C-alpha cells in the first residue's frame, strides 16, 4: 500500500519534472507531431483505394510515439539519472524499489496518453485520419496502445542498463529507435521493405504496434494489403505480450542502481 | 568473532577488506564508532575513505571482514534499516527543475518518522531558497540540500562524505554549526574529510586512513601523542630568539622563569599541530 502511494508520489514528481524540462517536452511531444506535419504534407499519394500515405503514416507515427515515450525516453533518462547519482541517492532511502518503477510507468502512461491524443487529434483534423468508428476498434486501440507502451517501457528500462554513461545513452538508443522506425512500417510502407528487413522488424515490438494501429485507423479493405494478408491481431497480442515478459525479465535481472559494484 | 554491542556501538568493523581488480582499497580496517559521537575519517585522496563509508552505507560489497551498523550487517540493508540511517553522498544531488521545497517534501514521504520539511529547510539555512529551482542553487546551497535530505528522516546515524568540499570559509563555519546541533541532539555522525580544521573542530575522535589502513584513532587533541611529547618552548634572549625541543615543557618554563627572574620575554609553548601530526602519519604510511 505504501509502495503504491509512494509510486504515485514519484509519478507525480516525474511528470512535474518532465513538464518543467522544455527539451523533453519538445522532443517527446512535438517531434512526432512535426514529423506528422512534414510527412503528411509531402507524401499525400494514394497507396490503395481510399487510403493515402498520410493516413498510413499517421497510424505509424502514433505507434512510434509510444516507442519514443516508453523506450527511447526511459533508455536515455535512466542512465543519466544513474550517472548523476539520483538512483544511488534513492537507494540510500527507505523508498521501496518498486515505487521508482511505478513512478516511471505512471509518467510514461501520462505522456504517452497526451502524445497519442495530440497526434490522433492533429491527424484527424488536418490529414483525414478517420477516428475509430466502432466500439471494437476503440477496444483494439486501447489494448494495442497499452500492451505496446508496456512492452516499450519495460524494454526501455532494460535497455538503460546497456549504456555505460549517461552521456553515451542517446548515442546507443537513438539509432536503435530510428532503425526500428524505418523498418517497421512508420516512414515507409511495410510491404515496400525487403523481406530480410521485415524478418528483423518482426522480431521487435514496433512492427506489431504499427500493424495494430493500422487495423484501428485504416479501412478494413486495407487488411488485404498487409504482408500477412490480414491485420493478424492475434499475432500482435502474442508478440507484444511476449515482449512484456521478456522486457520484465531483463529488467529484473539487469537493472543497476549504481555505476559499479 | 568480536562481540558486538549494538547498544553502545553505532558501527563496529573488524578486518574489513575491499579488493578491486589489481588493487586493495581497504586493507584490514578495525573501527568502532560509539553511539552519539562524531567520528571523522581523515586521509588523503585514494586512502579508502569513501570505499569504507560506502560499504557501511550498504552501497558496496566488502571482500572480507565483519561490519555491523546499528546492529545490522549493511550488506543486508533493508528499508527498516534505511529508516534509521541518513546519507550525504560525496557527489552533490541534482534535481534540476524541482524546487527545494518539492524535493525535501518528497523525500520526507519515504520516512515513517520524518521531520517537518519546512523546519529542516530552515535548519540547513535554505529558508529563503525554498521556492527556488534546485538547478540555480550555488554549490554550497546544493550541499545543504543534500544535508536536508540526509536528516529529513531523523536518522540515528548520519554519514557525511566530504560534506564541505568547495565551501568558502564562512559557509563552512555555518555548516559546522549545523553539524554540532545535530550531534548535540544525539545523532551519531561518521564524517569523512580532508580538512584537518574540520576534523579538529567537529570530531570527538579522529581516525587516519592511509593506503587502506587505519593508522591511528584518537581524540584530535591526543592524535599521534600530540598532547604528550615533542613540545617546543620559544623565547627571546638578547642575542635573538631561541627554541628548545622538550618532552617536559613545564620544567623548561620554570627554569627560564628563574633565570629571567619573572616574565620570560616572548614565551611560547607549542605542540605539533594536527596538521604536523597528520602529515607525519601519512608520510610514514606511504
**Per-block mean pLDDT, blocks of 10 residues, chain B (286 long):** 66 94 91 95 90 94 95 92 95 88 96 95 92 91 92 96 84 88 94 89 93 91 75 88 88 90 89 82 66
Distance of CA A167 to the CA centre of its chain: 22
Say which residue the cell 543486508 belongs to: B76
Res B229: pLDDT: 66
Is the same domain home to B65 and B200?
yes
- Nearest CA to A211 among A64, A69, A93? A64
Residues B178 and B253 in one domain: no
Domain boundary among B203, B224, B245: B224
What per-residue confidence (pLDDT) applies to B284?
59
Q: Are strands B38-42 and B205-210 parallel, antiparallel or unpaired?
A: parallel
pLDDT at position B190? 97
Asked if pLDDT for residue A159 goes beyond 60, the answer is: yes
Task: Please tell me which residue of chain B has the smallest CA distance to A18.
Answer: B97
Q: Do B89 and A6 touch (CB under 8 A)?
A: no
Q: Is B279 contained in some domain?
A: no
* Chain B contact set for A89 (CB, 8 A): 87, 89, 93, 149
Cβ-Cβ pairs closer than 8 A, A with B, add up to 60
Give the tens place of pLDDT for each residue, B122-138: 988 899 999 999 999 98
Contact A93/B111, CB-based, under 8 Å? yes
d(CA B220, CA B203): 7
Same domain flag for B152 and B181: yes
CA pair distance B228, B219, nearest whole angstrom: 13
A127, pLDDT greater than 90: no
| E-strand stretches of B211-274 | 213-218, 231-237, 240-246, 268-270
Q: Which residue has the cell 525535501?
A: B104
Contact partners, residue B67, CB within 8 Å, separation at least 6:
B11, B12, B13, B14, B16, B55, B56, B73, B74, B75
> For residue B5, what pLDDT is reported?
61
DSSP 3-state of B136: helix
> Over pLDDT 70: what percentage of chain B?
96
Interface contact flag, A85 B91, Cβ < 8 Å:
yes
Assigned domain for B69 exists: yes
C-alpha cell at A221: 479493405
The verdict on B183 and B265 lying in the same domain is no
Q: Are B18 and B50 in a shared domain?
A: yes
Is the residue at B193 inside a domain?
A: yes
Residue B163 lies in a domain: yes
Q: Based on the domain organization, do B20 and B106 belong to the same domain?
A: yes
- Whether residue B282 lies inside any domain: the answer is no
The DSSP 8-state label assigned to residue B99 in this structure reads: B
Lowest mean pLDDT among A118-132, A222-236, B222-236: B222-236
Contact B102 A89 (CB under 8 A): no
For the residues A139-148, what does the mean pLDDT come to?
Answer: 96
pLDDT on residue A261: 45
**% of chain A with per-residue pLDDT over 70:** 99
What's the pLDDT tens digit per position in A73-83? Answer: 899 999 999 98
B140 and B43 both lie in a single domain: yes
Measure B79 CA to nearest chain A CA, in Å. 4
Task: Assess if residue B276 is contained within a domain.
Answer: no
Q: Which domain holds residue B256?
A: 231-270
- Give the three-state DSSP class for B116: coil
SS (H, E, C) chain A: CHHHHHHHHHHHHHHHHHHHCHHHHHHHHHHHHHHHHHHHHHCCCEEECCEEHHHHHHHHHHHHHHHHHHHHHHHHHHHHHHHCCHHHHHHCCCCCHHHHHHHHHHHHHHHHHHHHHHHHHHHHHHCCCCCCCCHHHHHHHHHHHHHHHHHHHHHHHHHCCCCCCCCCHHHHHHHHHHHHHHHCCCCCCHHHCCHHHHHHHCCCHHHHHHHHHHHHHCCHHHHHHCCCCCCCHHHHHHHHHHHHHHHHHHHHHHCCCCCCC
Please indicate, yes or no, whether residues B135 and B58 belong to a single structural domain of this protein. yes
pLDDT digits (tens, 9 = 90+) for B77-101: 899 999 999 999 988 888 888 999 9
Which residues in chain B have Cβ-Cβ distances shorter than 8 Å to A88? 59, 89
Based on the structure, what is the number of domains in chain B?
2
Could you tell me if B145 and B246 lie in one domain? Answer: no
Distance CA A215, CA A224 (A): 11
- Cβ-Cβ contacts under 8 Å, A11 against chain B: none
Give a yes or no: residue B28 inside a domain: yes
In sign, the C-alpha dihedral spanning A138, A144, A147, A150 is negative
Of B60, B82, B96, the CB nearest to A93: B82
Alpha carbon distance, N-terminus to C-terminus of chain B: 30
Residue in B with minimal Cα distance to A100: B110
Query: Given B167, B200, B224, which residue is the final one in a domain?
Result: B224
- Is A88 an interface residue toward B (CB < 8 Å)? yes
Distance between CA atoms of residues B150 and B144, nearest Å: 10
Asked whether residue B41 falls in the same domain as residue B104, the answer is yes
Q: Would the CB atoms of A85 and B89 count as touching at under 8 Å?
A: yes
Shortest distance, CA A56 to any CA of chain B (angstroms): 38
Q: What is the CATH number of the domain that holds B218?
A: 3.40.50.300
Report d(CA A198, CA A182) in Å as an integer: 10
The pLDDT tens digits of the residues spanning B219-235 come to 988 887 776 667 889 99
Q: Are residues B204 and B245 in the same domain?
A: no
Q: Which of B87, B97, B109 sits opposite A17 (nearest CB)?
A: B97
How distant, in Å, are the alpha carbons of A10, A30, A51, B106 from that of A95? 10, 33, 51, 11
What pLDDT was estimated at residue B2?
47
- Rounded CA-CA distance B39/B159 in Å is 10
Q: Is it the case that residue A260 has pLDDT exceeding 70? A: no
Closest CA to B106 of A229, A9, A145: A9
Count other Cβ atoms within 10 Å, centred on residue A34.
11
Which chain A residues are within 8 Å of B106, Cβ to Cβ? 9, 13
10 Å Cβ neighbour count for B228? 10
Same domain, B246 and B220: no
Amino acid at each position: 500500500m505504501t509502495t503504491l502511494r509512494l509510486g504515485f508520489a514519484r509519478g507525480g514528481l516525474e511528470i512535474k519534472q518532465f513538464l518543467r524540462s522544455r527539451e523533453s517536452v519538445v522532443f517527446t511531444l512535438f517531434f512526432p507531431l512535426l514529423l506528422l506535419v512534414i510527412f503528411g504534407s509531402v507524401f499525400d499519394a494514394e497507396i490503395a483505394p481510399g487510403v493515402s500515405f498520410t493516413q498510413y503514416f499517421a497510424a505509424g507515427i502514433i505507434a512510434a510515439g509510444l516507442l519514443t515515450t516508453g523506450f527511447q525516453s526511459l533508455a536515455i533518462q535512466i542512465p543519466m539519472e544513474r550517472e548523476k547519482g539520483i538512483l544511488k541517492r534513492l537507494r540510500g532511502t527507505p523508498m521501496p524499489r518498486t515505487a521508482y518503477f511505478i513512478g516511471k510507468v505512471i509518467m510514461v502512461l501520462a505522456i504517452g496518453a497526451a502524445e497519442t491524443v495530440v497526434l490522433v487529434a492533429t491527424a484527424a483534423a488536418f490529414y483525414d485520419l478517420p477516428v475509430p468508428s466502432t466500439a471494437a476498434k476503440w477496444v483494439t486501440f486501447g489494448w494495442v496502445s497499452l500492451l505496446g507502451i508496456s512492452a516499450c517501457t519495460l524494454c526501455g528500462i532494460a535497455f538503460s542498463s546497456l549504456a555505460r554513461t549517461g552521456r553515451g545513452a542517446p548515442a546507443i538508443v537513438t539509432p536503435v529507435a530510428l532503425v526500428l522506425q524505418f523498418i517497421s512500417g512508420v516512414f515507409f510502407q511495410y510491404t515496400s521493405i525487403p523481406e530480410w528487413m521485415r524478418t528483423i522488424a518482426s522480431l521487435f515490438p514496433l512492427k506489431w504496434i504499427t500493424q495494430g494501429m493500422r487495423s484501428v485507423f485504416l479501412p478494413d479493405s486495407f487488411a488485404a494489403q498487409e504482408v500477412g494478408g490480414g491485420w493478424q491481431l492475434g499475432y500482435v497480442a502474442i508478440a507484444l505480450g511476449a515482449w512484456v515478459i521478456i522486457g520484465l525479465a531483463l529488467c529484473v535481472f539487469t537493472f543497476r542502481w549504481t555505476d559499479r559494484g | 568473532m568480536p562481540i558486538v554491542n549494538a547498544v553502545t556501538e553505532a558501527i563496529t568493523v573488524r578486518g574489513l577488506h575491499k579488493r578491486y581488480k589489481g588493487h586493495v582499497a581497504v586493507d584490514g580496517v578495525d573501527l568502532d564508532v560509539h553511539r552519539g559521537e562524531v567520528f571523522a575519517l581523515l586521509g588523503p585522496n585514494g586512502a579508502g575513505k569513501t570505499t569504507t563509508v560506502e560499504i557501511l552505507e550498504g552501497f558496496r560489497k566488502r571482500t572480507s571482514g565483519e561490519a555491523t551498523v546499528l546492529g545490522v550487517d549493511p550488506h543486508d540493508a533493508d528499508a527498516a534499516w534505511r529508516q534509521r540511517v541518513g546519507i550525504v553522498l560525496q557527489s552533490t544531488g541534482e534535481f534540476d527543475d524541482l524546487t527545494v521545497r518539492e524535493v525535501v517534501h518528497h523525500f520526507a514521504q519515504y520516512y515513517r518518522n520524518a521531520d517537518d520539511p519546512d523546519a529542516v529547510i530552515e535548519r540547513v539555512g535554505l529558508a529563503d531558497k525554498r521556492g527556488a529551482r534546485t538547478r540555480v542553487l550555488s554549490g554550497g546551497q546544493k550541499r545543504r540540500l543534500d544535508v536536508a535530505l540526509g536528516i529529513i528522516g531523523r536518522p540515528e546515524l548520519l554519514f557525511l562524505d566530504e560534506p564541505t568540499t568547495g565551501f568558502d570559509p564562512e559557509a563552512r563555519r555555518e555548516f559546522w554549526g549545523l553539524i554540532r546541533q545535530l550531534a548535540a541532539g544525539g545523532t551519531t555522525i561518521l564524517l569523512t574529510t580532508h580538512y584537518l580544521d574540520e576534523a579538529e573542530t567537529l570530531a570527538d575522535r579522529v581516525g587516519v586512513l592511509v593506503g587502506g589502513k587505519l593508522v591511528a584513532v584518537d581524540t584530535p587533541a591526543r592524535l599521534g601523542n600530540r598532547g604528550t611529547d615533542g613540545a617546543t618552548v620559544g623565547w627571546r634572549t638578547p642575542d635573538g630568539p631561541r627554541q628548545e625541543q622538550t618532552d617536559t615543557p613545564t620544567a623548561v618554563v620554570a627554569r627560564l622563569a628563574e633565570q629571567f627572574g619573572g616574565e620570560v620575554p616572548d614565551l611560547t609553548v607549542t605542540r605539533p599541530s594536527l596538521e604536523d601530526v597528520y602529515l607525519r602519519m601519512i608520510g610514514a604510511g606511504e
